[in-house]
Amino acid sequence: MADPVTIGVLALQGDVREHIAALESVGARAVPVRRASELDAVEALVIPGGESTAMWRLATAFDMFEPVRKRLADGMPAYGSCAGMIMLADRVLDAVAGQETFGGLDITVRRNAFGRQVDSFEEPIAFEGIDRELRAVFIRAPWVEEIGDGGPADGGVQVLARVTAGPGAGRIVAVRQGVLMATSFHPELTGDNRVHGFFADLVRAAR
């Protein structure tokens, strides 16, 4: 059996333990990452849900912002959920003044697009590459307002999932571009770990 992939979870803020448990359930070796030396030891990185402005400020304060950005630019696979989607986006609408992201995904996201905490909801969605619908949990979630020009065959963004009902019907909530992927929703909170399995397979294929 091949060695398990080693995937870090950025452990500055957000639902770190849930992502670690989900990754371990699909056979990955999952470790928290808080410093650059720990980042150097992993093959890929999960950027969890939480609060994107707090994550940006903490990454800067702990001297993690530039190391993560460099690893992504050098081709490290990464998956971001909710706030993690914002941190992987090249462009952010409704950002706070001066807010920066790691970037890498040629997308424009809108922060808190689905509303406040009280507007949180769950919805079954179809996810490209995964059999059977997922139960998606949205908590102060962003959505993808725009994707860049060019399709997956040209190195562009592939849309993996859209919301199908409610005021956000048709909005893009999961994307992939090469070895980077992101979801607006929180698969780590449902006990259904197929999205984490999808990412682990992506990391294995990138070896």
Asked if the structure places residue 195 within a domain, the reply is yes
User: How far, in Å, CA of 56 to CA of 47, rounded?
Assistant: 11
- How much is the pLDDT for 65? 97
Name the domain count of the chain.
1
Half-sphere exposure at residue 32, Cβ-oriented, CA atoms within 13 angstroms: 9
| CA 127/CA 173 separation, integer angstroms | 10
Structure tokens at 119: 């507007």
Which domain does 65 fall in, by range?
A: 6-206
In a domain, 11, yes or no: yes
pLDDT of residue 149: 83
Is 186 labeled as catalytic in the residue annotation?
yes
Judge whether 82 counts as a catalytic residue. Answer: yes
Inter-CA distances, 73 with 1, 66, 94, 103, Å: 30, 10, 25, 9
Residue 28 in any domain: the answer is yes
**CA atoms of 180 and 173, how far apart (whole Å):** 14
> What confidence score (pLDDT) does residue 71 get?
98
Q: Given 18, 19, 123, 186, which residue is catalytic?
A: 186
What pLDDT shows up at residue 119?
62
Report if residue 60 sits inside a domain. Answer: yes
Task: Catalytic residue, from 82, 123, 145, 146: name it.
Answer: 82
**Catalytic annotation present for 188:** yes
- Give pLDDT tens digits along the chain (207 positions): 457 899 999 999 999 999 999 999 999 999 999 999 999 999 999 999 989 999 999 999 999 999 999 999 999 999 999 999 999 999 999 888 899 999 999 999 999 888 766 567 899 999 999 999 999 999 989 999 999 987 777 789 999 999 988 778 999 999 999 999 999 999 999 999 999 999 999 999 998
Report the pLDDT value the prediction gives residue 163, as an integer from 0 to 100.
Answer: 94
* Assigned domain for 1 exists: no
Structural domain includes residue 196: yes
DSSP, collapsed to helix, strand or coil, labels residue 152 as: helix
The answer to whether position 83 is within a domain reads yes
136 located within any domain: yes
Give the C-alpha separation, 60 to 10, whole Å: 13
How does strand 89-93 pair with strand 105-110? parallel
Provide CB contacts within 8 A for 19, sequence distance 6+.
Answer: 9, 30, 46, 48, 81, 188, 196
Helix H or strand E encompassing 46 = strand 44-47
Per-residue confidence (pLDDT) for residue 117, from 0 to 100: 62
Where residue 18 sits, what CATH number does that domain have? 3.40.50.880
- Residue in 18, 19, 123, 188 annotated catalytic: 188
